[in-house]
Amino acid sequence: MNVTFFYNHWELWQLYHKVTFDGANKIIIINDGETDIDVEVDIYSAWKEWVLVDENAKFEQALRVVGGDPTVGGDSLGVTTFLINGWRIRPFEDDHSLTMVGNLFEETGADPFVPTLGEHTILVTRRVSNLVDKVVGEAILSATESTQLSLIEVVERASKLHTALLLDKA
C-alpha cells in the first residue's frame, strides 16, 4: 500500500486493496509485492470503494464495465473493463512478473499500462476470456457506394484472372 497516498486516511488503510489510486495523475498503481491482479475484484471493485472515501469522487471516472448480464442456467456474460478518461495502470517498482486476470482495455485502444518510474523489467501476462467468437455485420450502402464496391470486385477478379493467365504462360 502506498503510504504517500494514505497519510492521515485510516478509512483507506482499512480497505486494503492491491492497488492505490492516484486521482490527480490518473494512475492506478499496483502495490508492492502484488503480482496477481483480478481486474474485476482488485481494480474495479477497489475503485468503487475508493470513490466513496473522502473527496475521491471529484476525480474523473477511471473505469466502465460491460457484461455480467445473466444468461441461462445461472451463467452470466463475461465482464470487460475499460480504462477511461486517460487513466492508466502502473506496476510496482521492481523487476517482476505480473498476471492480470480479466478483460481489460483502454477505451481508445492505447496500452493500459504506463512504465514504472525506475528502470525495471516487468513481464505482464494477461489472461482474458473469449467473449466474441464471430461478428456478423450488415451494411446498408447508397447506390453510389454499391456501384463502387461492384467495380472494386470486378477489378479484383480481373487482376486474379490476369495473374493466373500469366502463370499459365510461364
CA 122 to chain centre: 18
Same domain? For 106 and 63 the reply is yes
Residue 134 resides in a domain: no
**Overall average pLDDT of the 39-66 stretch:** 93
Over 80: is that where the pLDDT of 65 sits? Answer: yes
**Domain ranges, residue 116:** 3-127
Same domain? For 53 and 123 the reply is yes
Over 60: is that where the pLDDT of 34 sits? Answer: yes
Residue 132 resides in a domain: no
Contacts 24+ apart (CB under 8 A), 53-60: 53/9, 53/11, 53/12, 53/15, 54/9, 54/11, 54/12, 56/21, 56/23, 58/23, 59/21, 59/23, 59/24, 59/26, 60/23, 60/26, 60/84, 60/85, 60/86, 60/87
Same domain? For 35 and 83 the reply is yes
Same domain? For 60 and 19 the reply is yes
Over 70: is that where the pLDDT of 55 sits? Answer: yes
SS3 162: helix
Over 60: is that where the pLDDT of 141 sits? Answer: yes
| pLDDT 10s digits, 110-136 | 999 999 999 999 999 998 876 544 444
Residue 133 resides in a domain: no
Query: What share of the chain has pLDDT > 70, as a percent?
Result: 68
Q: What's the domain count of the chain?
A: 2
Same domain? For 61 and 110 the reply is yes
Residue 169 resides in a domain: yes
What are the grid coordinates assigned to 18, written together?
A: 492491491
**Overall average pLDDT of the 64-92 stretch:** 89
What mean pLDDT value characterizes the chain? 81
What is the reported pTM?
A: 0.69
Same domain? For 145 and 119 the reply is no
